[in-house]
Amino acid sequence: MTKFISVVSGKGGTGKTTVAINLALALNEFGHNVILLDSDLRSADIGLMLGVSPKLNNIHDVIDGKKNIEEVVYHHPSGLNFIPASISVQTVNASPELNSVIESLDGSAEMVIMDAPAGFHKEVFSLLDSSDEVIIVTNPELPAVTDAIRTIALVEQSGKKIAGIVINRYNGDEAEMSVENISAMLGKEILEVIPEDIYIRKSVKLKYPVSYAYPLAPSSVSFKRLAAKVLGKY
Ligand code: ADP
Ligand code: MG
């Protein structure tokens, strides 16, 4: 049985896509059969971040009935298997169709890591419906933490398991909220802290995941530790 794990945050720009890509890659490097699914149909950017052509067939072609799901699973040079979404502006609310496409992935991998859209709306709620577990990404600042509180409430309402809270872009400077403070506000333990890391921005420029382009970068080490914790080995 496939475990479906979504990466959500409420607030935009917290690092959901970065976490989803690098978590999936680290899980794959640990020998697990993983598919990364771009479930952010509003602002798809997994294909962009992985440097593949935007003309590749993608999840929208499956939703439109033009392709089978197996035909849109691509293999990145890093070893990561992924399904991109269309980068064009999508006016259609494809959430019901996305749920059945996600269901059709059951049995095709050990884990499916799903990159969520930002916000609190129908598409996020239906992605939660399709998830077994949820990873919540936040940043060490009040607006992001407040949205993480809302996200926790929604996930708990939906009865899904929170696999962990990730603080991303952590510097440890005095302008930031501390890990202890964030943990206390959320009423949850923090699974992993990913540092602010220039190598992430360098890797975006190269269009490679940071943990592939710079495996020894501070954030790459954190992503490996996060993957080990998600697997319960840490
Ligand atoms: P989201 O998917 O939540 O909108 P992204 O993963 O696209 O967020 O991240 C937004 C931008 O922030 C990315 O382009 C990336 O360059 C940058 N970023 C994310 N995490 C980090 C980090 N830990 N250190 C430095 N830059 C980061
Ligand atoms: Mg994103």
Residue-range domain boundaries for the chain: 3-221
Query: For 181-206, what is the mean pLDDT?
Result: 97
Please report which confidence band the pLDDT of residue 198 belongs to, taking 50, 70 and 90 as the band edges.
very high
Residue 92 has pLDDT above 80, yes or no: no
> Parallel, antiparallel, or unpaired: how do β-strands 74-75 and 81-83 relate?
antiparallel
Which residue is closest in CA terms to ligand 1's atom 4?
Answer: 13
- Give residue 90's pLDDT: 59
- Give residue 71's pLDDT: 96
Which residue is closest in CA terms to ligand 1's atom 6?
Answer: 15
Please report which confidence band the pLDDT of residue 88 belongs to, taking 50, 70 and 90 as the band edges.
confident
- Give residue 23's pLDDT: 98
Distant-in-sequence contacts of 66-71, Cβ < 8 A, 24+ apart: 69/101, 69/104, 69/105, 69/108, 70/108
Residue 216 has pLDDT above 60, yes or no: yes
Measured from the alpha carbon of residue 85, the closest ligand is 2
Residue 23 Cα to ligand 1 middle (Å): 14
- Give residue 93's pLDDT: 63
Residues with CB under 6 A from ligand 1: 9, 12-18, 118, 168-169, 194, 196-197, 200-201, 204, 219
Say which CATH architecture domain 3-221 belongs to: 3-Layer(aba) Sandwich (3.40)
What does pLDDT average to over the chain? 95
Measured from the alpha carbon of residue 220, the closest ligand is 1
Query: Rounded to an integer, what distance in angstroms lies between the CA atom of residue 191 and that of residue 162?
Result: 10
Query: For 187-205, what is the mean pLDDT?
Result: 97
Rounded percentage of the chain residues whose pLDDT exceeds 90? 90
Query: For 58-65, what is the mean pLDDT?
Result: 92
- The minimum-distance atom of ligand 1 relative to the CA of 201 is 16
Residue 211 Cα to ligand 1 middle (Å): 14
Query: For 76-97, what is the mean pLDDT?
Result: 83
- The minimum-distance atom of ligand 1 relative to the CA of 115 is 2
3-class secondary structure, 171 = coil
Burial 79-102 (b: 16+ CB within 10 A, else e): ebbbbbbbbeeeeeebbebbeebb
Query: For 182-196, what is the mean pLDDT?
Result: 98
Burial 169-205 (b: 16+ CB within 10 A, else e): bbeeeeebbeeeebbeebebebbbbbbbbebbeebbe
- The minimum-distance atom of ligand 1 relative to the CA of 204 is 16
Residue 58 Cα to ligand 1 middle (Å): 23
- Give residue 231's pLDDT: 96
